């Protein structure tokens, strides 16, 4: 079997571990593996290289993706997808492994309809906004990066008795803010799933700051804000400083937007293991004829097709994309469960 592999969309720590596993295990099982550079843009151009063992040796510890990633304005069009299908045929691929997030998996599903070759997706997104997936590749590293940054910020905040608003990535999903906020002992976690207004946010945070700085055992206030919140971090900081100037003289509030710092860095051991096990599961599934599916890690329900790995399941890409839509609009039972759990502890965060 000749297998192509590409990484697409935003890079995620652990992508390289998945690439190496497909290549090394594929070669070990008698397959030929081609790496496609720059995602779907590279597929359109036929920019490929054969992945031998030397090419993938040691890459599991690297952040980013050795294959590169790029967004293509041509690929999503009917003409672009026809060009991609023609390229798959010219390359003689029997199978294509796509590693990426919602947009990348949407592209994989579109290509799968023509049945030019088998298509399998692997979920890689630090936002953790992919349906039927407990943890996507890259999420664990991103959470650890946020927690480390918040720990450092808390050190300086305690030295000066300050408040900080730390904005983290996640697009329209508040998972990173929720998980990192709990782990870093944040006093408040702001996430877009409950769609708060500016006045609601300001009033809630005024109460948080009042409780923090009226109690002398608190030497800092830490607020974690998901980037999906429509109210800007700068505006929140300015409005809350006006409150502090009146009611808590001498206390300052600062902002830190972590941005792409969250996306980079060496993948954690957990992300490497998730990527390796998903990639190996993908290879086994391809050998059994699987097509138009995604391998998922540690899903929160008993749905999907079981594999020999108890943490890995198989879902049709169509179902994955439908559930992703529900995650993003807030109607998924997974989102509702997260919000219900967080609501039970929100008033305890300030203690």
Q: How many CB atoms are located within 10 Å of the residue 260 CB?
A: 10
Q: Which of 233, 122, 131, 129 is nearest to 176 (CA)?
A: 129
The whole-number pLDDT of residue 172 equals 87
Residue ranges of domains in the chain:
2-138+267-329, 141-263
CB 317 within 8 A of CB 108: yes
* Per-residue tens of pLDDT for the chain, all 351 residues: 999 999 999 999 999 999 999 999 999 999 999 999 999 999 999 999 999 999 999 999 999 999 999 888 899 999 999 999 999 999 999 999 999 999 999 999 999 999 999 999 999 999 999 999 999 999 999 999 999 999 999 999 999 999 999 999 998 899 999 999 999 999 999 988 877 889 999 999 999 999 898 877 788 999 999 999 999 999 999 999 999 998 888 899 999 999 999 999 999 999 999 999 999 999 999 999 999 999 999 987 788 999 999 999 999 999 999 999 999 888 999 888 888 888 887 777 876
The pTM assigned to this predicted structure is 0.95
Assigned CATH class of 2-138+267-329? alpha beta
Per-residue b or e along 292-306, where b marks 16 or more CB atoms closer than 10 Å to that residue's CB: bbbbbbebeeeebee
Hey, what are 52's tokens? 């031998």
Side-by-side strand order, sheet with 32-36: 48-50, 32-36, 2-7, 95-100, 118-123, 293-297, 312-316, 305-306
The whole-number pLDDT of residue 351 equals 62
Instruction: Enumerate the active-site residues.
Output: 127
Tell me the angle at which helices 198-213 and 233-247 cross, rounded to the nearest 10 degrees: 40
The whole-number pLDDT of residue 348 equals 77
| CA atoms of 189 and 142, how far apart (whole Å) | 17
Query: Quick check: helix, strand or coil at residue 186?
Result: coil
The whole-number pLDDT of residue 263 equals 95
The whole-number pLDDT of residue 112 equals 97
Q: Which of 74, 87, 124 is nearest to 104 (CA)?
A: 124
CB 14 within 8 A of CB 55: no
**Domain 141-263 in the same topology as domain 2-138+267-329:** yes
Assigned CATH class of 141-263? alpha beta
């Amino acid at each position: 079997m000749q297998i192509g592999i590409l990484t697409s969309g935003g890079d995620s720590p652990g992508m390289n571990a998945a690439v190496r596993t497909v290549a090394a295990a594929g070669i070990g099982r008698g397959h030929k593996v081609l790496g496609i550079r720059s995602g779907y843009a590279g597929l359109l151009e036929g920019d490929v290289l054969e992945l031998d063992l030397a090419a993938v040796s040691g890459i599991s510890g690297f952040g980013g993706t050795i294959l590169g990633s790029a967004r293509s304005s041509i690929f999503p069009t009917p003409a672009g997808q026809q060009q991609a299908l023609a390229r798959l045929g010219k390359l003689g691929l029997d199978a294509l492994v796509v590693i990426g997030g919602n947009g990348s998996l949407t592209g994989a599903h579109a290509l799968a309809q023509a049945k030019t070759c088998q298509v399998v997706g692997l979920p890689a997104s630090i936002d953790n906004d992919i349906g039927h997936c407990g943890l996507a590749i890259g999420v664990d590293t991103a959470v650890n990066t946020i927690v480390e940054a918040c720990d450092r910020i808390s050190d300086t905040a305690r030295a000066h008795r300050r408040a900080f608003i730390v904005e983290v990535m996640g697009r329209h999903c508040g998972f990173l803010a929720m998980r990192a906020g709990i782990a870093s002992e944040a006093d408040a976690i702001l996430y877009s799933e409950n769609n708060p207004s500016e006045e609601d946010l300001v009033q809630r945070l005024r109460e948080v700051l009042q409780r923090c700085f009226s109690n002398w055992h608190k030497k800092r206030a830490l607020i974690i804000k998901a980037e999906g919140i429509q109210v800007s971090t700068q505006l929140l900081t300015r409005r809350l400083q006006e409150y502090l100037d009146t009611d808590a003289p001498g206390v300052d509030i600062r902002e830190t937007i972590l941005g792409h710092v969250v996306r980079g860095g060496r993948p954690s051991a957990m992300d490497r293991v998730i990527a390796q096990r998903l990639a190996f599961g993908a290879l086994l599934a391809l050998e059994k004829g699987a097509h138009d599916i995604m391998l998922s890690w540690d899903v929160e329900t008993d749905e999907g097709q079981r594999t020999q790995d108890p943490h890995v399941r198989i879902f049709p890409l169509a179902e994955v994309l439908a559930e992703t839509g529900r995650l993003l609009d807030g109607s998924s039972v997974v989102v509702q469960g997260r919000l219900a759990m967080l609501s039970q502890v929100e008033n305890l965060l300030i203690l």
